[in-house]
Homo-oligomer: A and B are copies of this chain.
Amino acid sequence: MTDVLALDSAAQDLLFREARTANTFTDEPVTDEQVQAVYDLVKYAPTSMNMQPLRVVLVRSAEARERLVGLMADGNKEKTAKAPLVAILASDNEFHEELPTQFPHFPQAKDLFFGERPVREAAGSFNAALQIGYFIIGVRAAGLAAGPMTGFDGEAINKEFFGDGEHSVLAVVNIGKPGEDAWYPRSPRLAYDEVVTTV
C-alpha cells in the first residue's frame, strides 16, 4: 500500500510505523532548539478558525520535575522522573482573546462563538487535542521518541503549574531518545473495515 502515498517510505517509518511510545530514555538532553524546531514545524497544521489553544510548559528544573512527578499516576512516576525532557500540554481556555489577530478575516469570531465558557472549553480542548496530535508527530519528526501520558491528577497540575483557572492540562509528554527496553510489543490496531464505512 505504501506507494499509494506521496510521503516517502523512510518518513512513513519515522513518523508512524517505527516510531513507538517510549517508556525509557537515554541520558541525551533535548534542547530548546529542538523543541522550537518541532513547534515551528507543527504550528502550521490546521485547527478550527485557526484557534491555537495549545500551551506547552517545559519542565526543566529539578524542583518543578519533582512537583510534577508527585501528581502523576503511579505507573507514570518513574518514567516522568527520568525522561530527558517532560512537557505539560494544556489548553488555554482564554484562547479566544487571540482570535482577532489569528483569524483576522472574520473579526466577529471572538464575540460570536466564545461568549460562554463551556462552549469555549469544548472548542479549546478539541483543537488543543488536534495540536497535541501534531506535536507528537513533530517530536518524532525531530528523531525523538514521545511518551504521551494522560494518567495524572489534572486539577492539581492545573493549580500547580498554571494557577489562573484558565488552563486545562490534557497530556504530559516525556521526550528523548529511546533507552533500553523502551517499549512493549505493539498492541493491535482496529482493521480498516472496523473503522471506515461508506454511505
Contact = CB atoms under 8 A, between A and B. Distances in A.
Contacts of A50: 187-189
A24 interface: no
B188 A46 contact: no
Nearest to A103: B187
B39 A195 contact: yes
Task: Count the copies.
Answer: 2
Interface in A10-61: 10-12, 14-17, 19, 21, 32-46, 48, 50, 52, 54-61
Interface of A: 1-2, 4-8, 10-12, 14-17, 19, 21, 32-46, 48, 50, 52, 54-61, 64, 98, 101-105, 123, 125-126, 129-134, 136-137, 140-143, 146, 148, 150, 161, 170, 184, 186-190, 192, 195-199
